[in-house]
Amino acid sequence: MDGMLLAPSLYAIKGIAILDNDGRRILANYYDADVFPGIKEQKAFEKSLFAKTAKANGEIIMLDGLTCLYRSNVDLFFYVMGSVHENENVEKRSLFDHLDIIMLALDEICDGGIILESDPNAVVSRVALRTDDIPLGEQTVAQVFQSAKEQLKWSLLK
């Protein structure tokens, strides 16, 4: 199966878990019954995962055929598990392709060090506005260029 290409899937996350500083489950959701068929397997995986990450300073580990992202904070450990084929990184090219949206989202979240919005759905709804609906004075430079490109394209195609 290593040489075969896998079909793309939206089911990227195999599980999410929050453990305390002793490795005991506080909250866990597992989404793949093939990988985690029951509570016994889940608890065994969590025990192994905690043993490998409790003293480590990293943020990612490959364990039992899964890519596991983790972060500790005071007395909690947060884990997100995905397939070994998942990419945990945000790539520079992807960031630059969506820089205008990212800049808008950051502006919606924080202004001058003041948190304006922390609800992700509210941020997404504001960022997803069509540029035609936004007054020219409130548009970013990227939005103005995109709007100009669209108008030029349609005028050339007529």
Q: pLDDT-derived band of residue 134, with 50, 70 and 90 as boundaries?
A: low
Report the amino acid identity of residue 43: K
What pLDDT is stored for residue 106 in this prediction?
A: 80
Per-residue pLDDT tens for 76-89?
A: 999 999 887 776 67
CATH topology of domain 13-83: Beta-Lactamase (3.30.450)
DSSP string, 46-95: HHHHHHHHSS---SEEEETTEEEEEEEETTEEEEEEEETT---PPPHHHH
Q: Which residue has the tokens 């394209």?
A: 153
Cα of 18 vs its chain's centroid, Å: 17
Q: What is the pLDDT of residue 25?
A: 93
The angle, 0 to 180 degrees and rounded to 10, between the axes of the packed helices 141-157 and 99-109 is: 140
Q: What is the pLDDT of residue 135?
A: 60
Q: Confidence band (pLDDT; 50, 70, 90) for 58? A: confident
Phi, psi of 102 (to 5 degrees): -65, -40
Q: Is residue 2 scored above 50 in pLDDT?
A: no
Burial class (CB in 10 A: 0-12, 13-18, 19+), 117: middle
Q: Where are the domains of the chain?
A: 13-83, 92-157
Angstrom distance (rounded) from CA 89 to CA 145: 29
pTM recorded for the entire structure: 0.57
